[in-house]
Structure 1
């Protein structure tokens, strides 16, 4: 028994010490300030007096007196004094930004073993807690407990980082690329009314990715000559009929669409390291590209990622001008609206076991019935068109071969009947000039059917009809438009 006790007591002491370490690691260390709130901790500690002064000036002091839990990263007096050379603390907005960067919503402890945790601060920016550091800054003291949260002491202040949008407009404002970015956000006044060149499409497709804080992105800024070369290369594919400088529709010009399209391709999801730039990258718009060897100039950390200044990016036209797909289950209208009972949106499995969705319109008894579709963002180029429609599976009402037709809107036509507007010239699958594609559907054919070629003469939408042969059926999984790049 005595030998057993001699063994248990040391082990118990080890366990208690280990458990205490875990407690401190997750919930903070108890000290003399445990009963004080975070404001009282900062304001009553001589070592933090410089930060306490800024805290009062920032207007955030009252928040740290509240019962809600926070985490505070407290720079020492020495750290604040060193920062005075970089920040104008006589400017209240600067003080508020600086202090707010060190105040974090909710409780975050830190230890050397955890992977990166993103903590949202009062400035709606994210501070990265990574293996015992805050944005790479090692704390001098960590995991101390107050009555309403935790605090950590740092020997140098966090540097408030700009988001990618603000960073590139500040650091690279004189580049052609950033001039293009700025052109989307200018305003002008006409007859006393203010108009804005920015548009919801620009905001959602480009700018939002440069400003959002809850995700990381990598952004590239290239040399002026290379940026203009890319613009010139893409411009013919985005031609519109709107006159440049059009004050009421600036978002419909060739320049608008070309710039917006190109600016999407400088943004990549994720915070890429330099050694990751050697592989093929994919932009947020799905364009694949590479960074030529020796092109890297500099790297700049942003609050929502990183910005690389590079000489050039290798874009291939076949990766930029992409194919388009219109799905059968997404019609925008019909010849008439009383045939919903004959229209089926199906989830099916083909004979190979693959799931797919399609539309089937059957038993409608209307001659030349049609479903209307619209392909968006079509470039000025010829497209090869392919379609897929599967029929003859168990349960299908249609089991015999049939033909349906695909018609395209010709904006040059004027006619009283809608259907007569859809006679755009095409080249059919036999290489013959026509005004429609014949789409033959064979039982249990799981492959695509080549329909022919259609040309798009200005950038934008391509309306089309999928029409029945007589009172026959319509079945469509998709139409695929493949650009012909010379």
Structure 2
């Protein structure tokens, strides 16, 4: 009974609160201004005549007459007079961009908190509401109500910002670094510049981060000497078999992969302040680097972060050339495809209670059965190879020690049988020359096993097999390739 009365009391309080809020809302809409659209309110106010004129030219006026709710940040005539020196309002594109930047989808009151609210405007850019400001601009009037939204008055217009990609091309176009960025959209043939379809991997790894508006990034532009030094340092590790000037595959050359590797390591996630840089920075690819604050030349805010113009960044080659891991649960195929009932993808806990995933191929009854794998984007050089495979846990049908083998594809070999193509020279765990690496799996061993060394001659994917011994099992959590940096 007490619980029932308590519940009814809560309901009564809620209804009274709702009635109070509703009354306040009705009070707003009982006012003259709340019965007019945003367009009507600003067009009737002579203090906003300059912006209204641009609104009519921009094509956005009809939106502010409609019933959908918007937030409008409107500069006064005085603010617009000062802005004319920075914008060519005879250009239709400039007008549309400028006006659209001040119109926000949905309703946003002034945010007086310290947490940033990102509001998407009609130009698909985000305006940041924080500390009672809009992108750092303080309103002179705020939270004014119309029938289809609210508006705030500002004494200076919001400044439409370029994203990182566009800023680099407009402000730093003469640097070697930005010339390299621009080159991903073009091919040079017989002195003629031809635009071609930009490579998907360039877009996914680098350019998309430069243009996305929903997240913040920091990009660094270095002196030409520094850029060229980084390019020269990495080039030997990205050597391919494709000739430069290849018109069929312009995204397959040494130049392409070297430039991409250099350029992506100039980008960091987050909008970083100068104070945070001295402690060290990590790029979007996980490469650590150092910046001396004395080397900062300028910082430019963008719509999706910031661009720093700096003299130099310090990288260690051991951080740039990364290890590669091949997961057992990610095979590319098998010796034959009729053994699915003998292939198990397992979620298990090791002896320390840690979760892991692996593959087990068991009781297949096929001599020298194998699973195919690929190590992706391997840079040129030697690698130490380690493997992890755990067996003998509760429920595991394999409990006795066994050996499996790792074979690597050799493109110089011509053979009819597929396994004969996978005899690349390697050094086994004893340091002896061989054409395969033996991988002995001991019961209840959670540790990695050193398998040997293999060399990658050109940049790209390394194909390999994990093969059983006779008709024995295959168990693999992963193979790990650790580059040997001289």
TM (normalized to structure 1)?
0.93
CA distance in 2, matches of 1:394, 1:115: 50
Unaligned runs of 5+ in 2: 1-18
Q: What is aligned with 1:236?
A: 236
Q: What is aligned with 1:112?
A: 112
Q: What is aligned with 2:210?
A: 210
**What displacement does 1:35 show?**
1.0
Q: What is aligned with 2:262?
A: 262
Q: What is aligned with 2:447?
A: 447
Q: What is aligned with 1:77?
A: 77
Answer whether contact 2:404 2:466 (CA < 8 A) is retained. yes
**What displacement does 1:31 show?**
5.8
Answer whether contact 2:189 2:245 (CA < 8 A) is retained. no
Deviations 1:408-455 (A, max 9, x none): 000000000110000000000000000000000000000000000000
Q: What is aligned with 1:277?
A: 277
**What displacement does 1:248 show?**
1.1
Q: Secondary structure at the match of 2:33?
A: coil
CA distance in 2, matches of 1:176, 1:152: 44
**What displacement does 1:114 show?**
4.9
1:325 has 2:321 as partner: no
Q: Secondary structure at the match of 1:307?
A: strand
1:408 has 2:436 as partner: no
Q: Secondary structure at the match of 1:115?
A: coil
Q: Secondary structure at the match of 1:128?
A: strand
Please report the RMSD computed on the Cα atoms of aligned residues, expressed in angstroms: 2.2
CA distance in 2, matches of 1:382, 1:114: 51
**What displacement does 1:113 show?**
2.8
**What displacement does 1:294 show?**
1.0
Answer whether contact 2:187 2:250 (CA < 8 A) is retained. no
Q: Secondary structure at the match of 1:294?
A: helix
CA distance in 1, matches of 2:256, 2:197: 9
Answer whether contact 1:238 1:458 (CA < 8 A) is retained. yes
CA distance in 1, matches of 2:367, 2:295: 62
Matches within 5 A, 1:475-486: 475-486=475-486
Unaligned runs of 5+ in 1: 1-18
CA pair 138-258 structure 1, distance change in 2 beyond 3 A: same
Deviations 1:276-327 (A, max 9, x none): 1111211111111111241111000000000100001111000000000000
Answer whether contact 1:403 1:439 (CA < 8 A) is retained. yes
Deviations 1:139-175 (A, max 9, x none): 0000100000010000000110000000011110000
Answer whether contact 2:300 2:306 (CA < 8 A) is retained. yes
TM (normalized to structure 2)?
0.93
Answer whether contact 1:117 1:130 (CA < 8 A) is retained. yes
**What displacement does 1:111 show?**
3.8
**What displacement does 1:33 show?**
1.6
Q: What is aligned with 1:160?
A: 160
Count of residue pairs brought into register by the alignment: 467
CA pair 325-111 structure 1, distance change in 2 beyond 3 A: closer
**What displacement does 1:189 show?**
8.2
